[in-house]
Amino acid sequence: MSVNRSKARHRRRRTAVAAGVPLALGAAGVMAYGTAFGVFGEDASPKASAATVANASAAAPAWAADVADGFASVDAKGQKGTYGGRDGRTVTVKTLADLEKYATAEEPYVIVVAATIDMNPVGKEIKVKSDKTIVGRGTSGQIVGGGFFLGTGVHNVIIRNLTIRDSYQGVWNDKDHDFDAVQMDGAHHVWIDHNDLRHMADGLIDVRKDSTNVTVSWNRLSDNNKTFGIGWTENVLTDITIHHNWIRETEQRNPSTDNAAHAHLYNNYLEDVAGTAVKSSYGNYSRGRTKMVLENSYFQGMNNPVTKDATAAVVQRGNTFSGTSGRNESGGTAFDPKSFYGYTLDRTADVPALLKAGTGPRTSIGTANAVSTASTRAATLTVAKDGSGQYRTVQAAVDAVPANNPSRVVIQVKPGTYRETVKVPSNKPHVTIQGTGGSRKDTVIVFNNASGTPKPGGGTYGTGGSATVAVEADDFQARNLSINNDFDEGRNQSLNGHQAVALRTAADKVFLDGIITDGDQDTLLLDTAAKDKLGRVYVTNSYISGNVDFVFGRATAVIDQSVITLKKRWDGSSAGYIVAPSTTADRKGILINRTVVNGDVSAGSFFLGRNWHAGGDAALRPQATVRNSTLSAAIKSTPWSDMGGFSWKNDRFAEYKNTGPGSGAASGNRPQLTDAQAGGQEVADWLGTWNPTA
């Protein structure tokens, strides 16, 4: 199929790295959604259709139990929340015929889109029926040249993890082609989550004609004239939640909200990118008799960022406006969203980095508000401080895992602060520790040992021994929780040894997905079981904070699509180093990829890293590569430093295509990879044959 892309103002530069997917996974075509039968299950009995059908009771992917938040979660119109097709069969589709067959069926389905599907004719919108989950497999699920239509009375529909793109017909403000990514006319209970919607002929999302109980979350909306329209009715019935969406390079309807009874917008990032042909006309627009609550959103460079009609209401709280101009309005009375549902606001200052790292399709389904569980075949242990679980401490649950367990054990930890140290010994592989709260902040494992802290039996803990959580078992995973070390340097100045590790890994195939790990010096120790042992670690969708050498060790480690936050020292000064690899000469070290580096510290005060020759070992060849990442002004113009008398220039340090005020051109003090060299320093080169999966 050929799509007319001739209009010059609508062409956009694309990065070579697909958003939301580790290259190792994308290249191998492997999904990160665990099920009892591997990928998405196999046919119980062969069928002529190209779609793979799995019996839901045996092989439904665990994420199919995810439910919406916001207004889509509210019981109304005879529907109790939004859960899509979880009660039906799971099918995997790769053709338009199969996608349309199952999406338009009367019975419930979980429909996994595992290929790029071209719409024929261009502009086709599949008429989705009720009780459906349509979800992309990793980033392979793409709908090109059309989208989905949800008509009157259609309800309980989830559209997740898809790229829907390219029905554009060459006219920027197109009045002739109503080719939307997702259009609703009178639908209710719809959840649109973690999609990449762009370059369509008309709108990206249209919520029309009294559609209600809709939640739109964690999407990237870009490269379009009309982004997101709500209304087209004289009635005042629509209830809609719009949160954690990144809207960029769009002109109007960001969104335009007409006659909505309750419109709750929070933690969105609206960005008018400087130097492009697209100029925003306006941002959030409250029209007619809309009542809008607008909280903790970030507006960057937008013209007329918030506008309202005289008859409409906008209540603003906690928003940030950077480089904006024109109308920024509020007034009237609205409503209290918490009278309808619970939610947690992220800090406004964190929103750009959070959304750049977390929006769009992901390799493993699960959001900050809808947590995926493990496969239905995995053993599960529960931890709760209040005694409602099997165990009251995380360590007690780890202790209950049988030695040399042959398959995964999921330790589900209910929300709360667990002040304890946890050790997963080497004879307990395949363990997952997973928070069950609505946010990774809800479940916290924390302690305050430091290197110089005296041990009860004599001596001190040392750096490695100070870890709040220590992982020595292969195939470990941590999800949706915080692992912190809150050692107070200021109050312990007399102590000899302030290194205080939050998380130490000394194992292979460690997958850290959607976590926070916070400390000061030596926060995250990524090690191996022994100097001659391979230890691979993949960190994604996570936050890491500290100030001195706070990502360090000899592991082969990838930090991908995450946020690294620089912190001031205990005395309020700004100075430090991010990475301190101690890589052996035959291994790869630390790769930071598609990650945001930020923090409330002074400009030019932090090094990207330094070379740690542990124990003075001259044979080591520490390696760190920082690529395709956004660096704040805190990064020094000469970002690498010597350590322990060894010159970093004799080791392996480089950057590639970083952006932001802390990035810089190639020089003798700032090595940059060539395109050819960068081709050998991808995520797949670090992880080898290992494909991290949930």
Cα–Cα distance measured from residue 454 to residue 9, given in angstroms and rounded to the nearest whole number: 65
Tokens found for residue 666: 């190639």
CA-to-CA distance for 70 and 264, rounded, in angstroms? 8
Please give the radius of gyration of the chain, using alpha carbons only, rounded to the nearest integer: 25
The DSSP secondary-structure symbol of 662 reads T
- Do β-strands 510-513 and 142-144 pair in parallel, antiparallel, or remain unpaired? unpaired
Instruction: Answer for the pair 501, 522: CB distance below 8 angstroms, yes or no.
Output: yes
How many Cβ atoms from other residues are within 10 Å of residue 600's Cβ? 12
Contact by Cβ (8 Å): 107, 83: no
Distance CA 2, CA 142 (A): 15
Nearest to 431 by CA among 510, 542, 535: 510
For the chain, the farthest-separated pair of C-alpha atoms sits apart, in whole angstroms, at 79
Question: What is the C-alpha separation between 11 and 26, in angstroms, rounded?
Answer: 25
Q: From CA 422, how far away is CA 561, in angstroms rounded?
A: 27
Q: Which of 508, 549, 560, 651 is an active site residue? A: 549
Q: Say if residues 418 and 385 touch (Cβ distance below 8 Å).
A: yes
Task: Answer yes or no: are the C-beta atoms of 344 and 367 closer than 8 Å.
Answer: no
DSSP-derived secondary structure for 138-178: TT--EEES-EEEE-TT-EEEEEES-EEE----S-TT-SS--
CA distance 544 to 563: 6
Residue 549: active-site member: yes
Catalytic entry in 508, 522, 527, 560: 522
Assess whether 399 carries a catalytic annotation: no
**Measured between alpha carbons, how far is 579 from 497 in angstroms, rounded to an integer?**
19
Which three-class secondary structure state does DSSP give residue 255?
Answer: coil
Q: Which residues pair with 447 in a beta bridge?
A: 485
Q: Which residues carry out catalysis?
A: 522, 549
